[in-house]
Structure 1
Amino acid sequence: MREIKFRIYDKQDEQMIEWSDLYRYYGIPEDWDMEDLLNGQADDEYSEVMQSTGLKDKNGREIYEGDILYYTVFDRFDHDQQYKGIVKWSDDDAQWFLASIDGSDFQGPDFHPLGWVWRQDDEPEIIGNIYENPNLLKEGETNG
């Protein structure tokens, strides 16, 4: 069975909190369950809850919603192209995808399903996240 993991970005302290540290950080009783946390104290104007995709990048780092990935899309004509995308969940498509950094509507070339990216590039890399690295959201900026 796949473990479902979360992390939280605390907007006031401007820091990422791993799920394992959540009880200690917020002073929440340990007998609260995940639903209590997500529907109550943790997800409000002061914090953002992000779910893990269950995948890891080329450096073994777990990939979460809100992470910014650098990856390559290969084609059969050797016109490989590098992208930066934000990991998001699509309720309509019931899947994780990488959204274009330029803020488009995530259709066509600006929308890459995460599973498809994994078949294209076995070495995607987390280069930051939308909360701690907003400078990476500039269109055209790359990882190197």
Structure 2
Amino acid sequence: MNQLFKAWHKERKQMSWEFGLNPTKITFDDLTNEIACEKLDFDEHDWNMTILQSTGVPDKNGEQAFNGDLIMSNTYGYPMEVRWDEDAAYFYCHDHRGGEEDHLSMQEVRESEIIGSINSNPDMLSR
């Protein structure tokens, strides 16, 4: 089974795959083929977690990429962050050296290797 979500615990500074995401909050309408998800506010429970969603795209080693993962770009030779663009509704690779507008295709993930997470290794972007 593919893991769809994981969580970064801010106080413990560790990743967790067991955080109690309640699937009953996600609904599917057979008539309209629409999926609805009630926005989950984890801070109200004082869980102090950041929820990260799977992109559905594996890296070159077959490891599932999540929002917030860092890859070592095979094309450019330096780290990039996997991000979600809320307005355009897609995942992309963010090139911190190219400016805020530099969105690279998720194909970059397929050809590169996941080396960490922006949550646990933010200093990797300065390499």
Q: Same fold (TM over 0.5)?
A: yes
How is 1:29-68 mapped onto 2 (pairs within 5 angstroms)? Answer: 33=25, 35=37, 39-41=40-42, 46-68=48-70
Higher share in strand: 2
Percentage identity across paired residues of the two chains: 27
Return the match for 1:128 from 104, 113, 116: 116
Higher share in helix: 1
The residue that corresponds to 2:87 in the other structure is 92
Structure 2 residue matching 1:54: 3-state secondary structure? strand
RMSD (CA atoms): 2.9
Q: Which has the larger radius of gyration?
A: 1
Residue segments in structure 1 that go unaligned for 5+ positions in a row: 74-80
State the shift of 1:93 in Å: 2.5
Residue segments in structure 2 that go unaligned for 5+ positions in a row: 27-36
Return the match for 1:114 from 100, 106, 121: 106
Q: Which runs of 4+ in 1 moved over 3 A?
A: 30-36, 42-45
Q: Does 1:7 align with 2:18?
A: no
State the shift of 1:112 in Å: 0.6
Count, aligned residues: 115
Q: Is the 8 A contact 1:4 1:54 kept in 2?
A: no
Q: Is the 8 A contact 2:61 2:113 kept in 1?
A: yes
Structure 2 residue matching 1:132: 3-state secondary structure? coil
- Match of 2:19, as an amino acid? L
The residue that corresponds to 2:32 in the other structure is none
Residue by residue over 1:19-73, the C-alpha shift from the partner in whole angstroms, topping out at 9 and shown as x without a partner, is xx113xxxx8x6853556x523368782111110011112221100000011233
Q: TM-score, normalised by structure 1?
A: 0.65
Structure 2 residue matching 1:136: 3-state secondary structure? helix
